[in-house]
Amino acid sequence: MVRPESAGSLAEFVASDPGAIVMSSWGAGRVRPSDTPGEYVINLEDFDFVMLRIGVEMTFAVTLNEETSTAKLVSRGFRLIGPGLESIGEKIDIKVQGAMRPSPASSALCSLTGDVRFEASGEVPKLMQGVPEPALRAAANAVSKSLISAASERFSSNVPAAYSKWAKDKASLPA
């Protein structure tokens, strides 16, 4: 749920700059535009996986479905950050897709809903081949839940704040 702003609807906010959702969903300094228009590079929080501390940098393309004011995010690639992790990143593939939909401007409730999915595939890196499969699955599940929880928490507070700021800035513009 988002507090509606009189200066503009949530759908207008999303349609005016779908990249604003990406920019506002992570902390300051974690997102930057890439060299390709409509793409952003996000430095995700470091996480622990089994015995490794891993940093991840992902590139996302952001598009807008103008009919529904839905911002769509699709990963375009990733890079693992840390000593010796580059070779691991070459053997696995991580795909992330998301869609953020504002309620229609005519709706009695002002809300933004989202659906984010990610999939990792590839071979187990040599460094972790000795780890029992149940431990790998448990670690992957824990990382997944941690990332989803952190993203949901950030999204729930940062995007409404960005919408509020956008509306205030819009209201202060001369007519």
CATH of the domain at 99: 3.30.530
pLDDT category, 166, cuts 50, 70, 90? Answer: very high
Residue 3 in domain: no
Q: What pLDDT, on a 0 to 100 scale, did the predictor assign at position 167?
A: 92
pLDDT tens, residue by residue, 56-104: 888 999 999 999 889 999 999 888 787 767 666 677 787 888 898 998 8
pLDDT, tens only, 109-155: 889 888 888 887 888 777 777 888 888 788 777 777 766 777 777 77
State the pLDDT at residue 168.
94
**Is residue 175 included in any domain, yes or no?**
no
The pLDDT score that the predictor gives to residue 81 is 80
The reply to whether 33 falls in a domain is yes
Total domains in the fold of the chain: 1
Look at residue 43 and tell me if it is in a domain.
Answer: yes
**What is the Cα–Cα distance from 111 to 89, expressed in whole angstroms?**
37
Cβ atoms 39, 118 nearer than 8 A:
no
What is the structure's pLDDT at 52?
A: 72
What confidence score (pLDDT) does residue 164 get? 92
Task: Evaluate if residue 175 carries a pLDDT over 70.
Answer: no
d(C-alpha 10, C-alpha 40), whole Å: 22
Range of the domain at 92: 10-169
Q: Is 39's pLDDT higher than 90?
A: yes
Is 102 a domain residue? Answer: yes
Which pLDDT tens digit goes with each residue over 21-35? 877 877 778 889 999
Tokens read off for 152:
């949901």
Q: How many CB atoms lie within 10 A of CB 175?
A: 2
- Decide: 98 and 21 in contact? Cβ < 8 Å: no
pLDDT of residue 86: 67
